[in-house]
Structure 1
Amino acid sequence: MTSINLADRSVDLGEWAARTENAADVFAGAVRDWLDENLVGHFAELRGRGGPGSEHEYFEQRLEWDRHLAAAGWTCLGWPVEHGGRGATIEQRIIFHREYARANAPARVNHLGEELLGPTIIEYGTPEQQKRFLPPIVDVTELWAQGYSEPGAGSDLAAVATSAALDGDHWVINGQKIWTSLAHLSQWCFVIARTEKGSARHRGLSFLLVPLDQDGVTIRPIQQITGTSEFNEVFFDDAVTDADLIVGDPGEGWKVAMGLLQFERGVSTLGQQVGFRRELESIIDLARRNGSIDDPEIAARLRRAKVGLTVMEANAQRTLAGDIVSATGAASVTKLLWGNWHRDLGELAVAVVGAPSLIGPAATTEGRANDIRDPEHVELDEWQRLLLFTRADTIYGGSNEVQRNIIAERVLGLPREARA
């Protein structure tokens, strides 16, 4: 069995594991060997590139890398085989993410398609939608953006005002989305729109698949505090999409949207957390090299960070194994854990760097400062960028306040917060 090429898409990884002794070790070795053999040549310069706040780094090269992964059978591991996936077990997916992080491989460009939209279409989409949209996600030939947040509907997603009306064989869409990550680089956007006139809150919403390359769509990058523009505001002015490009029935958009968010806070967090571990290990190594680890306060904060990361990983694995009773509560707990932990890690990073973190690129990144950002903006090193970017971690994807309300009201059964 060990002679099987585990990157071959014809191999169902789950079935293979069920009948192979020491399957986990064999699989980890196969992933490790493939990464060692392929993160070479022009791909070698991508190691560690494209993380939070640096999504613009080497984008075209990272897109090429993702397609290289796809050609070798390493994308969409957890999808069912009949939908182009590999049928991988949760354990295998964890192993893949861990080995990927250990190799310092580049951040993936197809996260929204592979980890969020794809599973949603598998769960809620029609056979025609699955046939049309899943293969281009598997082979990374179409990229997706998420059209949820609006200027008046961020964490309170039920306040969506973007509208869509059915006109013959098309939906006609009008409104604005904001904080739309990588929309300027994507071909499609999944959009929550209000399709029942006069409806309010969770009712009357629909989940539409909308092409971005059309006259009715305007995309404007938003400059972030890091000086980069990874996300955008998107305007729909009589934009159109085909009538059958609705996932679920009209008015079921809230159910589909919440289903997608369960995927967002499910297995896709594994890759996020292994990236967190790499960041923490780099900070610990820096603290050893510059002597800041001898400061009792710094040492204590580093220990707390390690404990917090261990708790996050254990919580994610319990959730994925189905040991958490309330999926809604588990998702909110997960968001609270990683959002606050990562924000604190950014503050810890600059504390470890010390005074140099205040004066331009700190002399701690050994030439790793971003050399391709907009030259009009102040250059930041990776730790300064981490500090600034993680200020948003407790806001986007559902703010701390919203997550605590969900836990209080939907899990603990406490009285609802009074609304103005």
Structure 2
Amino acid sequence: MFLQRLDARPGSISDAVLIEVLGGLYGSMVPIVFTGVAQAILGTIVAWQSTDMATAVITGLSVIIACIRAWDVLAFRRRVARQPLRDRAEAEQCKRHYVIGTAATAFIIGLFAARSLMLDDALCAMMAIGVGFGFGAGIVARLSMLPFVAVADLIVMGVPPIAVAMARLDAPHVGMAVLIAIYLVGSFEMVRLTFNSAIKQITLKHQFEQLARIDPMTGLFNRSVLASDLARMIAGRGDRTIAIHAIDLDHFKAANDRFGHPVGDALLKEVAGRLRSLAGDSDLIVRMGGDEFILVQTSVASRTQAERMAQRISEAVSLPYCIEGHDIVIGASIGVALSGEDGSTAEAILRRSDQALYRAKADRGGYVFARELAAASMPAMDNPTARLQAA
């Protein structure tokens, strides 16, 4: 029943939501430190009071686990500071580390509570059960976004003291077992409610963020994406080259004025569709506004590959369009800049692609590489006539 009433199943949370959840879990070390300190203090008191070696061992294990989990949080933060999580595989690896740590903590707390019940010391048992209830509340608050993990931790923590209490077969201990069981069942329901509510809110948040990045007319990304995604793509390119194709439609204004804005809008959508058909899975297409577009070509092996893409863009955009019975022919001017040879930052490469685009428009269409502008601006000092004129 619990599983059926959840709005999601393992693996159904989107990559972006999972990465955000992990950021929240690893975002604070306070719960781990407080839990470790509480276990150390109470375990030391109980072990000293009862001279029970098993309690001392459990306390030592709890401190070791807390230290390992704290180190894992620091390692996660260092990793994210160097390179944010990029895909689900990396997120799942970090999730496994956290799940193992929290499961180990839950099991130790359950053992501590069970052992305290076996010592027949009411005060020690009360303190141990209190730590368990506090940790259970923390599970509900922090792990509800991973509901199956939260439920598993609650069970691992609750079963040992319930089993020990039921084995005593007297009213106080049986009552304690029933109380813990009721607490667990109530916690399951709170996990479900918290998860269903939080997942809807986070999903809506990401949907709104995504909508803010989309051009409503063409469905392509808008220019705001370049400020974040392009810089990240260039920074993480490694040995790969990234080509930026700045595209401006030729004769679009004339077609828009002649046939009207509805036809012009439909024409822009057709152009967007043709650009999508050319782009690879990892490429980025952006409508800058008006009749200007950007196609970011990733993993370019050579300048020739970028040149072939520019040629394909020019040919695809220049093919005739039939919109609302009107036959329309437009063209494209394209400026191409490559990471590395034309700049190392997003701003520099975009500026160089714009400069190449202006030259392409001045040449009435086609494509121009930014590198050609630099070559053209250099004086031809190898030419004897040029040297004489310079002298």
TM class by smaller structure: under 0.3
Higher relative contact order (CA 8 A, sep 6+): 1
**TM (normalized to structure 1)?**
0.20
Larger Rg: 2
**TM (normalized to structure 2)?**
0.21
Higher helix share: 2
